[in-house]
Amino acid sequence: MATAAPLLIPLSQLSRAVTDWVESARALTQPAGVRWCEGTEEEFRELTSRLVRDGELVKLNAEHFPDCHLYRSNPSDVARVEHLTYICTASRQDAGPNNNWMDPKEARAKMRGLFSGCMRGRTMYVIPYCMGPIDSPLSRCGVEITDSAYVALNMMVMTRAGRAALERIAGNGGFVRGLHSIGELDPNRRFIMHFPEELTIESFGSGYGGNALLGKKCHALRIASWQARSEGWLAEHMLIVGLQSPKGETHYVACAFPSACGKTNLAMLIPPASLPGWKVFTVGDDIAWLHPGPDGRLWAINPEAGYFGVVPGTNPETNRNAYEMIRRDTLFTNVAVTADNQPWWEGLSHGTPVTDWQGRPYEPAKGPAAHPNSRFTVAARRNPSYSPHAEDPRGVPISALVFGGRRREVAPLVYEARNWQHGVLVGASVASETTAAAVGQVGVVRRDPMAMQPFCGYNFADYWRHWLEVGSKLARAPKIFHVNWFRRDAHGKFLWPGFGDNLRVLAWMLDRCSGRADAAASGIGLLPRVQDLDTRGLSLDEGALRALLSVDPALWRKEVADIRTYLQSYGSRLPQALLAELENTERQLG
Ligand code: GTP
Ligand code: SPV
Ligand code: MN
């Protein structure tokens, strides 16, 4: 956010296209007033104080958590709603079996009915925003209209919001239109609609992050993935991290793990003390836009400017960077509080919750004190490991792409794909246990290709074809890996310590990229042998490591059969190259 500048042209007059659209939304929703967001610190502070006065935000303990606030969302509105999220394309086939589809005309009529007069008595906020560094040719702009001040505050942290974004829109015209209202927060009148052919999003009835911060999943993944296909790039659910080795070489890695499966944590990991000399630089924690560069490499930008991260589990042992980062200037959603008004969540070893996430006296019998999907919103520049290249308009060059899932069995700690085409199959085959990030049952294994099942704005079959094409044109394509930090032993205990120790696995990958590390071939790809991983200072018995690096051919033959059934559900649009790769794997499993 910028500091206040003398206001020259009122925002409402900067772009005719934006003004016309705001006017039509105003006529439809009938707000009491319209407020254009300048994106200044002053505006942010003023809005925050007003919400505290109105009782919408709780000011947290100012001594321990300066400038931190708590927002309690409606208890029926705490996560993404995949069953109410639609891709509305003229042809149903374009949305694909991976998406809910509605005819655009029908969807528009339905949403018109819901939006009609819905902002009466409320303020309409107009938030122009830029996804990506404001001076990057890879960035894209949008405008969100919302009647939620909480959403406006979040957008001001999560994006480059305000005047500079609107000036960019006024200069080159294009922008994604996002209309949002919390409505009555009635789950029966809740829809998240995407019209990729018109670069439009309409979201009604939820104030929760992924449903309501339209720059994030709706724009930067669903709409952007659609645009990326026609323009030859990739919009992915990936963190971006820079790893500097003790020799001083820096490599950037982008990793796609499903929601609540470790992206934020890996993006800001703290190297273990027993691996001295490594440095970690965060570029992004959730979304990557990857563009083939003139040098034949993939270049990545993080379209976001902040983190909307999972709170539970964050503590000084798992992730000191994140823990330090959220101790000031942070907006908490749905955490518990202690007697002296400090935020509290499961995974903290100190403090006692007295009020749960719903504001009730905490009673363990009623469930966790903080909601399992409670979140923090904080500016990326508050991250102690924020990369100096995160704002680079060219992005950063990617050496390795990593897919991963949360699986108690089957998937080993790490393996390397045989080549790009095999890597696309590995990505398309990702399976993971569901988490609290979306409404529904938790802990059920489902296919989540490239961690994009909830976020790909078009038919997965076309998306995999696009991935194959992008790779075939890269002269220096990144290597592709798969990881699983979540394998468990017979007692249900995680076999791998995870968090900072994940660097040991990343270090092997980087050595593979520079041809310095060995691997052993297996049916599913290339695995490190126990001696190939740097285990100095790691208290893990060799049995555990062997288990983590084991591939059970019987389990994998069953896995291959499941993958085949899944891929074939995409019918004739499925790239046959993926089935050929799968046969290759099957043959090698013996
Ligand atoms: P989204 O923001 O939903 O896209 O999630 P994310 O992928 O950024 O997940 P995040 O890093 O916030 O982690 C989610 C949960 O997994 C947290 O409770 C973490 O404590 C836990 N977690 C993260 N990394 C590891 C790991 O290496 N091992 C284990 N066992 N747990 C982890
Ligand atoms: C996720 O669910 O993957 C998130 C949180 O990162 S949300 O912004 O709600 O999508
Ligand atoms: Mn995410």
Query: Is 4 within the bounds of a domain?
Result: no
- Return the pLDDT at 6: 61
Residue after which a domain boundary falls, among 232, 261, 276: 232
| 142 shares its domain with 245 | no
Query: Is 71 within the bounds of a domain?
Result: no
| 342 shares its domain with 420 | no
Query: Is 428 within the bounds of a domain?
Result: yes
The CATH number of the domain holding residue 214 is: 3.40.449.10
Note the pLDDT tens digit of each residue in 37-89: 999 999 999 999 999 999 999 999 999 999 999 999 999 999 999 999 999 99
Note the pLDDT tens digit of each residue in 54-63: 999 999 999 9
3-state percent breakdown (helix, strand, coil) of the chain, nearest 5: 35, 25, 45
Residue nearest to atom 1 of ligand 2 (CA): 259
Query: Is 580 within the bounds of a domain?
Result: yes
Whether the CB-CB separation of 221 and 259 falls below 8 Å is answered with no
Can you name the residues that pair with 193 across neighbouring β-strands?
A: 86, 202
| Section 441-470 average pLDDT | 98
Residue nearest to atom 5 of ligand 2 (CA): 210
Task: Decide whether any atom of ligand 1 lies within 6 Å of the 432 Cβ.
Answer: no
Residue nearest to atom 15 of ligand 1 (CA): 260
| 461 shares its domain with 475 | yes
| 439 shares its domain with 312 | no
Note the pLDDT tens digit of each residue in 190-213: 999 999 999 999 999 999 999 999
Return d(Cα 364, Cα 369) in angstroms, integer.
7
| 373 shares its domain with 425 | no
| Section 275-289 average pLDDT | 98
| 568 shares its domain with 470 | yes
Query: Is 404 within the bounds of a domain?
Result: yes
Annotated catalytic residue, options 218, 261, 456, 513 = 261
Report how far ligand 1's centroid is from the alpha carbon of 187 (Å). 27
Buried b (16+ CB within 10 A) or exposed e, 470-494: bbeebeebbbbbbbbbbbeeeeeee
Task: Decide whether any atom of ligand 1 lies within 6 Å of the 449 Cβ.
Answer: no
Report how far ligand 2's centroid is from the alpha carbon of 238 (Å). 12
| Section 233-260 average pLDDT | 98
| 549 shares its domain with 415 | yes
Residue 68 is among the residues annotated as catalytic for this protein: no
Torsion sign over Cα 552, 259, 305, 297: positive
Closest by CA position to 302, among listed 418, 221, 423: 221
* Residue 395 lies in domain: 236-302+390-589
Query: What ligand is nearest to the CA atom of residue 207?
Result: 2
Residue after which a domain boundary falls, among 361, 382, 403: 382
Task: Decide whether any atom of ligand 1 lies within 6 Å of the 502 Cβ.
Answer: yes
Q: Ligand 2 pocket by C-beta < 6 Å: which residues?
A: 80, 209-210, 216-217, 259, 286, 308, 437
Nearest ligand 1 atom, CA 285:
8
- Return the pLDDT at 542: 82
| 168 shares its domain with 284 | no
Nearest ligand 1 atom, CA 262:
11
Task: Decide whether any atom of ligand 1 lies within 6 Å of the 265 Cβ.
Answer: yes
| 429 shares its domain with 473 | yes
The CATH number of the domain holding residue 322 is: 2.170.8.10
Query: Is 227 within the bounds of a domain?
Result: yes
Query: Is 1 within the bounds of a domain?
Result: no
**Secondary element (H or E) of residue 95:** helix 92-95
Query: Is 180 within the bounds of a domain?
Result: yes
Note the pLDDT tens digit of each residue in 315-370: 999 999 999 999 999 999 999 999 999 999 999 999 999 999 999 999 999 999 99
Task: Decide whether any atom of ligand 1 lies within 6 Å of the 263 Cβ.
Answer: yes
Residue after which a domain boundary falls, among 215, 232, 249: 232
Closest by CA position to 485, among listed 292, 271, 288, 257: 257
Query: What ligand is nearest to the CA atom of residue 262?
Result: 1
The CATH number of the domain holding residue 504 is: 3.90.228.20
* Residue appearing with tokens 């819901």: 114
SS (H, E, C) 347-373: CCCCCCEEECCCCCECCHHHCCCCCCC
Note the pLDDT tens digit of each residue in 1-50: 666 556 579 999 999 999 999 999 999 999 999 999 999 999 999 999 99
Nearest ligand 2 atom, CA 80:
9
Task: Decide whether any atom of ligand 1 lies within 6 Å of the 208 Cβ.
Answer: no
| 377 shares its domain with 395 | no
Q: What's the number of domains the chain is made of? A: 3
Whether the CB-CB separation of 49 and 58 falls below 8 Å is answered with no
| 433 shares its domain with 531 | yes
Report how far ligand 2's centroid is from the alpha carbon of 265 (Å). 14
| 551 shares its domain with 495 | yes
